[in-house]
Amino acid sequence: MSTILAAGARAPDFRLHVTPDQVLSLDEMRGKRIVLAFYPADWSPVCGDQMALYNQVLPEFRSRGAHIFGISVDGAWCHQAFAQARNLHFPLLADFEPKGDVARAYGAYRASEGVCERALFVIDENQAIAWSYCSPIAVNPGADGILDALDAMPTTGE
């Protein structure tokens, strides 16, 4: 069990597939508020899974000027199928190769199982971590902590 990066730390940059043919880097998102939601795996067998919840709460993130990304070690094709099945309207990042490297950089990798923790990061316009939280792996952390963190940040011009 590693310790996740805390508020005040610099958010480690990454370049990851966001679709099978598109790559996104954190650096490109400079000037924007980001929510990074690490989660163990696509296709968890519940209706109210974490990504379905964030999808439903999307307007609340957007109205606070935040861009949310799900991130797991699943590959881009797997993410694509999952996003289509769940009707997701936000991107999923594939921390697939080298596997889990980004999760490790954030202290959010479970080496024993080879999956990401359920760890949340709110990243500010200057790419500093404003808030982070790691939930027990079996407990979906919900969206309340993210919204509380965004509400506590200075109002954004976006």
Partner 1 sequence: MASLKVPVTTSDHILGASSGAVTLVEYGDYQCPHCAAAQLPVKQILSHYGGRICLVFRHFPLTEVHPMAGMAAETAEFAGGYGRFWEMHDAIFANQPRLSPELLLTLVSALELPAEEFQEALASGLHAPKVQAHFMGGVRSGVNGTPTFFVNGVRHDADYTFADLASSIDDAMLAMTR
Q: Which residues bind partner 1 (CB under 8 A)?
A: 46-50, 52-53, 55-57, 60, 86-89, 139-145, 147-148
Strand partners, 10: 128
Nearer to partner 1, 48 or 157 (CB): 48
Instruction: Decide whether 78 or 147 has the Cβ nearer to partner 1.
Output: 147
Distance in Å, CB of 120 to partner 1, minimum: 12
Q: Which is nearer to partner 1, 15 or 89 (CB)?
A: 89
C-alpha of 114 from chain center: 17
Minimum CB separation from partner 1 for residue 139, in Å? 6
User: Whole-number minimum distance, CB 82 to partner 1, in Å?
Assistant: 12
Catalytic: 47? yes
Least separation in angstroms between residue 2's CB and partner 1 is 23
Angle between helices 50-63 and 144-152 (to 10 degrees): 20
Which residue number, 16 or 51, has a Cβ lying nearer to partner 1?
Answer: 51
Catalytic residue annotation: 47
